[in-house]
Structure 1
Amino acid sequence: MILTVTPNPALDVTYRVAGLTVDAVNRVAGTDARAGGKGINVARVLHALGVPATALGFAGGRDGDALRAGLDARGIAHDLVATRGETRRTVAVVDPAAGTVTLLNEPGPVITESEWTALRDRVESRLPGASVLVLSGSLPRGLPDDAYAMLVRQAERHGVPVVLDADGVALRQAVPAGPRVVKPNAAELAGATGLPGLEAGARLLRRDGAHAVVVSDGPRGLYADTPDGSWRAVPPRVVGGNPTGAGDAAVAALAVGLAEGWDWPRTLAHAAALSAAAATAPLAGQVELAAYHDNLGRVSLRAGEEAPQCR
Structure 2
Amino acid sequence: MIITVTLNPAMDKTMVIDGIEIGEVNRADSIRNDIGGKGINVSKVLKSFGTDTLATGFLGGMIEEPFRKELNRMGIKDQFISIQGNTRTNIKLVDRKNETNTDINEPGPLISGGEIEKFIGFYKETVKKGDIVVLAGGLPPNISQDLYGRLTRMAKDKGALVVIDAEGEPLKHALVELPDMIKPNEKELASYLGKAVLTEEEIVQAARSLVEKGIQKVLVSRGEKGSIFATERSVFMGIGLEVEVKSTVGAGDSMVAALVFAEKEKLSDSETLALAQATGAAAVATEGTEACTREDVERYLADAREKIKEVR
TM-score, normalised to structure 2's length?
A: 0.92
**Is the Cα contact below 8 Å between 1:91 and 1:103 reproduced in 2?**
yes
Look up the match of 2:154: 154
Look up the match of 2:66: 66
Q: Where do 5+ consecutive residues of structure 2 fail to align? A: none
Cα deviation, residue 78, structure 1: 1.4
Could you tell me how far apart the structure 1 residues matched to 2:163 and 2:252 are?
12
Cα deviation, residue 205, structure 1: 3.7
Q: Give the partner amino acid of 1:169.
A: E
Look up the match of 2:259: 254
Cα deviation, residue 75, structure 1: 2.1
Could you tell me how far apart the structure 2 residues matched to 1:87 and 1:204 are?
38
Look up the match of 1:286: 291
Could you tell me how far apart the structure 2 residues matched to 1:254 and 1:119 are?
26
State how many pairs are aligned.
305
Instruction: Determine helix, strand or coil for the equivalent of 1:128.
Output: coil
Q: Give the partner amino acid of 2:254.
A: A
Instruction: Determine helix, strand or coil for the equivalent of 1:297.
Output: helix
Identical counterparts, % of pairs: 33
Alignment pair present for 1:301 and 2:285: no
Cα deviation, residue 34, structure 1: 2.1
Cα deviation, residue 88, structure 1: 0.8
- CA deviation profile, 1:176-211 (whole Å, cap 9, x unmatched): 211111111111111111243322433454455533
Alignment pair present for 1:163 and 2:180: no
Instruction: Determine helix, strand or coil for the equivalent of 1:57.
Output: strand
Look up the match of 2:226: 221
Q: Where do 5+ consecutive residues of structure 1 fail to align? A: 306-311
Aligned pairs for 1:175-254 within 5 A: 175-195=175-195, 196-197=198-199, 198-206=203-211, 209-254=214-259
Instruction: Determine helix, strand or coil for the equivalent of 2:81.
Output: strand
Look up the match of 1:309: none
**Is the Cα contact below 8 Å between 1:235 and 1:298 reproduced in 2?**
no
Look up the match of 1:263: 268
- CA deviation profile, 1:77-101 (whole Å, cap 9, x unmatched): 1110111111111110112333321
Could you tell me how far apart the structure 2 residues matched to 1:259 and 1:151 are?
21
Segment of structure 1 superposing worse, 44-53 or 71-80: 71-80
**Is the Cα contact below 8 Å between 1:46 and 1:53 reproduced in 2?**
yes
Could you tell me how far apart the structure 2 residues matched to 1:11 and 1:156 are?
31
Instruction: Determine helix, strand or coil for the equivalent of 2:271.
Output: helix
Q: Give the partner amino acid of 2:90.
A: T
Q: Give the partner amino acid of 2:300.
A: N
Q: Give the partner amino acid of 1:267.
A: T
Cα deviation, residue 252, structure 1: 0.2
Could you tell me how far apart the structure 2 residues matched to 1:167 and 1:116 are?
21
**Is the Cα contact below 8 Å between 1:232 and 1:301 reproduced in 2?**
yes
Q: Give the partner amino acid of 1:246.
A: A
The structure-2 alpha-carbon separation of the partners of 1:257 and 1:131, relative to structure 1 and needing over 3 Å to count, comes to farther
- CA deviation profile, 1:154-180 (whole Å, cap 9, x unmatched): 111222111100000110111021111
Q: Give the partner amino acid of 2:291.
A: Q
Look up the match of 1:81: 81
Could you tell me how far apart the structure 2 residues matched to 1:24 and 1:166 are?
35
The structure-2 alpha-carbon separation of the partners of 1:10 and 1:53, relative to structure 1 and needing over 3 Å to count, comes to same
Q: Give the partner amino acid of 1:304.
A: V
Could you tell me how far apart the structure 1 residues matched to 2:29 and 2:119 are?
39
Could you tell me how far apart the structure 2 residues matched to 1:41 and 1:219 are?
20
Q: Give the partner amino acid of 1:238.
A: V
Segment of structure 1 superposing worse, 218-227 or 249-258: 218-227
Q: Give the partner amino acid of 1:150.
A: R
Cα deviation, residue 222, structure 1: 1.3
Alignment pair present for 1:91 and 2:91: yes
Instruction: Determine helix, strand or coil for the equivalent of 1:243.
Output: coil
CA RMSD of aligned residues (A): 1.7
Cα deviation, residue 235, structure 1: 4.5
The structure-2 alpha-carbon separation of the partners of 1:209 and 1:118, relative to structure 1 and needing over 3 Å to count, comes to farther
